[in-house]
Amino acid sequence: MKNCALYIHIPFCDHKCIYCDFYSIITSDNISSFLNALKKEIKYFSNLYSTDRIYTSVFFGGGTPSLMEPAYLQEILNYIKKYFNVDVNAEITMETNPGTVDKTKLKKFKDAGINRISIGIQSFDEEELKFLTRIHDKQTAIETVYNAAEVGFENISVDLIFNLPDQTRGKWINNLKTAIQLPINHLSAYSLILERGTILNKLVLDKKVTMQDDDYDADLYETTIDFLVSNGFYQYEVSNFTKPGFECIHNNAYWRYREYLSFGTSSHSFMDGKRWWNFSSLKKYISEIELNNHAIMNSEIISKEQMHDEYVMLALRSSGLDLNDYKKRFSDDWIKKNYSYFELLKNQHHLSIENNWIKLTSKGYAVCDEILKNIL
C-alpha cells in the first residue's frame, strides 16, 4: 500500500491580505454549490486512486477553512472517508485564522474530526499586523492558541512572517519569544516574499513600501534558527521547526516526494508520475465539475530527470537525502559525480553525511538555494 496525502482547498476568505497570492474570494456566494462540486470531484477521483493507497493525512487549506461552519468541513471529511482509505490515525489539519474562531467553534471543529490546527498569526506586533492587513490583534492571536489547547487540540502549529519592511531584529525576536511561550509544538517561519499580482507588490512598485535587502533577510533567518533550536525546537525543513514527535505528516509527504491528491479550486495533484492542476476561478471550477466531474486545467508527465531533480531538491530542503531510498529510485551515478562537492560542504559544516543520509546543517539551510543550484 502506498502512503499518500489528501489536500482540500477552501477558497473563501473574509479579507484579502496584501501579501497573499493564494486563490481566495471574499464572498459567501456559491458556498453550497462549491460543496456539491467538491463531492463530485472526490467521488470521480476515488474510482481512479482509492485502491492500493492509504491516505495518512488530510489538509484543509485556503482561503480560510476556519471561516466555514464545522459541519461543512465535517461533511467533506466524512465524504472523503467514505470513498478513500483514510488511515484511522490520519493527521487532519485545518488552517485557521485568529478572528474567525472562538472556543465553541474550535471545539466543534475538533468534534468534526480535525486533530491538528495551523494558526496563521504572522506577527504579534500590532503595527506589523496592521501593515499585513490581518483582521486580528495580538490578544486575539494569543487567545486563539490557548482556546485550541483548552478544547483538546494537542497538535498546534503557528505561522510567523519575518523580514517585514522596517522590522528590527528585536521586534522579530519578540515575535518568536511570544510564540514559544504558548502551548504550541510546531512553528513555520517564512520570509516575506513579493508575489506578482499582490497588493504588496503594487505598493513596492509604486515606491510606497521598501523591502529590506537579502543580507538582512539572511541575518534574520539565521537568528530564527539559533533562537528556536536553543529553545527546544529542531529544524526539519527550511522554514519549519518542531518539538520532537510533531513533524507535519502532510507536509512531509510533499518533501519526501510521495503522491498527493488535491480537490478544490487551484489545487495541484501528483499521482503515477503525472502532475495536474485545477482551474482557479470558483465559477469555472463548478461549471467544469458539472460538465466533466473534474476541473483539470492542465497536466504534465514528469520526466525521469525532472523527477530526480525534484526529489533531491525536496529532500535537501527538508530532513535530508536518504541514500538507500535514493538508490532504489535512481542509479547512483549522480551521487558519485557530486560526492567530492558533498565532502567539501561537509568540511565547511554545511551538511552532514552519516548513516547513509546527506542532511543540511543549520548553516547549510541558510545557503540551500545556492547549494541546489550547484548540484542540479
Closest to 233 (Cα-Cα) out of 222, 224, 241: 241
Provide the pLDDT for residue 209. 67
CB–CB of 5/59 below 8 Å?
yes
Query: Using CA atoms, how far apart are residues 155 and 11, in angstroms rounded to an integer?
Result: 24
Boundaries of every domain in the chain: 2-255, 320-375
Instruction: Give Cα separations from 154 to 78, 139, 239, 254 (angstroms).
Output: 22, 21, 21, 23
Number of H helices and E strands in the chain, helices first, is 15, 15
CB–CB of 77/92 below 8 Å?
yes
**Residue 158: its H or E element:** strand 156-162
Most distant CA pair in the chain, distance:
58
Provide the pLDDT for residue 295. 98
Provide the pLDDT for residue 194. 64
The superfamily in CATH containing domain 2-255 is: Aldolase class I (3.20.20.70)
Task: Supply φ then ψ for residue 156, to 5 degrees.
Answer: -120, 125
Provide the pLDDT for residue 43. 97
Q: Which residues, given as ranges, of the chain have pLDDT below 50?
A: none
Provide the pLDDT for residue 204. 63
Q: Which residues contact 178 (CB under 8 A, 6 or more apart)?
A: 124, 138, 142
pLDDT for 176-228, tens place per residue? 999 999 999 999 999 887 667 676 667 666 777 676 788 888 999 999 999 99
Query: Using CA atoms, how far apart are residues 93 and 114, in angstroms rounded to an integer?
Result: 6
pLDDT for 17-51, tens place per residue? 666 666 667 767 789 999 999 999 999 999 999 88
Provide the pLDDT for residue 193. 74
Provide the pLDDT for residue 51. 83
C-alpha cell at 204: 513596492
